[in-house]
Structure 1
Amino acid sequence: MTDAGAARPAPRAPGPGQGEAPALVIFDCDGVLIDSEPISLARLTAGLNRIGVDIDVETVRARFAGTAMTSIMGHVAADYGICVPDGFVEAVKADTLRAFDRELRAMRGVAEAVAALTLPACVASSSDPVRLRHSLGLTGLLPLFEGRVFSSAEVARGKPFPDLFLHAAARMGAAPEGCLVIEDSVPGVTAARAAGMNVVGFTGGGHWGHDRAGADLAAAGASRIFRDYADLADILRGA
């Protein structure tokens, strides 16, 4: 589910040509760099159930994966008629971080793939800055992106709007049409397309058991789907 009034995806930008490397690679974090979505979706579902929202984890995944908490709370109020109590978001975030400490892992092969990059790269995530740094630090990925980690808290509108990706590109000194985004959610793919960027879909996370082919991501505008970081080098070469 996306925010009302979200911009429709722009026609695909020309982007790097066949065999031409992008000027900047922008990674989403949750579900792309770290296998966090099964954990965070389960903790969010449990929290919503506690306040009377009748929803299961598969519905939470389908509707809210890749969406910032502020937007999720708005949808809960509009669709379920439940205004979350004070402190609810903070409690869910704290519960999620505790679960991360016990269970969180980096995606298989991602550290090696990112370390081997010869291109500029950064992170642009819907997660708040505290969770983002905690997650990347916990999985050992933060040193690979230090100083190049951007959160939706830094822009007026999160995904599916293009603001975060445009902000990241501007901070990195890259033109949008030269950027390649790696995303695992429909809001993220929609945001990248609206920013005029090429985007590929990643389905290697634990929450993608329902559709490893990434049909939803392709329909939203992902130019290619992959599930193994061993394929990243070929993708960056435009293969």
Structure 2
Amino acid sequence: MTDAPAFPATPPLALVIFDCDGVLIDSEPISLATLTRGLNEIGLAIDLEAVRARFAGTSMTSIMERVAREDGIEAPAGFVERVKAQTLDAFAAELKAMAGIAEALGLLHLPFCVASSSDPVRLRHSLGLTGLLPLFQGHVFSSAQVARGKPFPDLFLFAAERMGTAPEQCLVIEDSVPGVEAARAAGMRVVGFTGGGHWGHDRSGRDLRAAGAATVFSAHAELGRIVAESGLPRSAASPI
């Protein structure tokens, strides 16, 4: 038995905000592998699991700032653009939508949008490749549109404002610790998703729970129930 949502339902939910990479599309195994190779090439000795733990859910700008600050390695000219281009090429060959997400979106009875750390070009490219872009009807927001990316709340607050919804009426679906932290900082309800290929065999999402996710799920067939139960008062919510 897992835990019930740790938030009240006043006011009721009015918007579901989805992260993109690792939630809507199974992109993280591809993008993290490309990033790992790139970082190795510029002298950072790091493996795929360490890259996932340190950088999943954050923008390339934030990643390279951390590498410079924490590892003392400055990216050479053109590095970020090269990694982005290599990632898009790999997406064209391998990228798939997360299993069941299109069907789950079609059954949602609330407005929904995307708020992602990906840059706008990659974001629209990846959603277009997987056939999901039309489902969002232009409600696609990138960290490039705000001053600070995740784990700061700026992106989620921006998305809520553009969608005309108060933060306390939003539910965020996230697969990364920075994303969960950003949602909590924005005053939003948040649940973790662990259905992406980068999670491997352990889909418990312990780090997401520790960061503040009310519960964790790993299949989009559960999305409708998760959203419905996230809108209940804690005392009325059945265990998720």
TM-score by length of 2: 0.91
The answer for the alignment partner of 1:141 in structure 2 is: 132
The reply to whether residue 171 of structure 1 matches residue 162 of structure 2 is yes
Please, which of 112, 115, 119 is the counterpart of residue 124 of structure 1?
A: 115
The percentage of aligned residue pairs carrying the same residue is 73
Instruction: Tell me by how many angstroms 1:195 deviates.
Output: 0.2
Taking the TM superposition and a 5 Å limit, the aligned residue runs for 1:1-239 are 14-16=7-9, 22-209=13-200, 211-238=202-229, 239=238
Instruction: Tell me by how many angstroms 1:75 deviates.
Output: 1.0
The separation in 2 between residues aligned to 1:94 and 1:42, in whole angstroms, is 14
Alignment-mate amino acid for residue 137 of structure 1: G
The separation in 1 between residues aligned to 2:124 and 2:150, in whole angstroms, is 19
Conserved? CA contact 2:6–2:214, under 8 Å: no
Deviations 1:20-51 (CA, angstroms, capped at 9, x unpaired) = 96200000000000000000000000011111
The separation in 1 between residues aligned to 2:31 and 2:101, in whole angstroms, is 20
Conserved? CA contact 1:15–1:197, under 8 Å: no
Deviations 1:84-124 (CA, angstroms, capped at 9, x unpaired) = 00100000000000000000000000010012212100000
The separation in 1 between residues aligned to 2:224 and 2:137, in whole angstroms, is 22
Instruction: Tell me by how many angstroms 1:210 deviates.
Output: 5.3
Deviations 1:148-189 (CA, angstroms, capped at 9, x unpaired) = 000000000000000000000000000000100000000000
The separation in 1 between residues aligned to 2:71 and 2:211, in whole angstroms, is 26
Alignment-mate amino acid for residue 222 of structure 1: A
TM-score by length of 1: 0.92
Residue ranges of structure 1 left out of the alignment (5+ in a row): 1-11
Q: How many residues are paired up? A: 226
The separation in 2 between residues aligned to 1:188 and 1:196, in whole angstroms, is 13
Instruction: Tell me by how many angstroms 1:82 deviates.
Output: 1.1
The separation in 1 between residues aligned to 2:7 and 2:90, in whole angstroms, is 41
After the TM superposition, which segments of 4 or more aligned residues of structure 1 sit over 6 Å from their partners? none
Q: What secondary structure sits across from 2:187 in the alignment? A: coil
Instruction: Tell me by how many angstroms 1:15 deviates.
Output: 4.8
Conserved? CA contact 1:109–1:229, under 8 Å: yes
Cα RMSD, aligned residues only: 1.5
The answer for the alignment partner of 2:235 in structure 1 is: none
Conserved? CA contact 1:45–1:55, under 8 Å: yes
